[in-house]
Amino acid sequence: MLALNLPQYAAKIMDRNGKNVIFDSIRKQYVALTPEEWVRQNFVNYLIIHKKYPASLMANEVMIKLNGTVKRCDTVLYKRDLSARMIIEYKAPHIEIAQNVFNQIARYNIVLRVDYLIVSNGLKHYCCKMDYANQSYQFLQEIPIYNAL
């Protein structure tokens, strides 16, 4: 798979019925290895190992209802009280992170109202902190460590 702008890790990849699958440590199962999934697994590993995010407070493919339709957030980080703290949206490395991607994650945030939004295609990562009191947001220079959230 393509080298990403993330620390390398020893991904568990195997062949299942002629297709590559990768182990998802959050869902505790093997899933189809697509370019977007490659980004997700590398990014989740980065958050857990390098930014010290508790894996027990993370979930992948979180279903939400938005305007009568079911949507899936790629990854959600929860607070200890199990309210949502962060939404992370992944794209394949060849997908440019443009306004439509930010619009997508902003729609998810209508439902979850989190403190942080992250978008990554594995090569570029954007993190913003929401400020609901002032109806604004601030892009951060880097993804914060867990204890700084």
Question: How many structural domains comprise the chain?
Answer: 1
pLDDT at 1: 76
> What secondary structure letter does DSSP report for 148?
G
pLDDT at 2: 87
Give the residue among 104, 148, 109, 149 at the shortest CA–CA distance from 132: 109
Average pLDDT over residues 109-136: 97
Is residue 63 domain-resident? yes
CATH code of 72's domain: 3.90.1570
- Summarize pLDDT for 81-113 with one digit per residue, the tens: 999 999 999 999 999 999 999 999 999 999 999
What residue numbers bound the domain in which 80 lies? 13-148
pTM, two decimal places: 0.95
| Three-state secondary-structure class, residue 76 | strand
Average pLDDT over residues 118-141: 97
Asked if 23 contacts 12 with a C-beta cutoff of 8 angstroms, the reply is yes
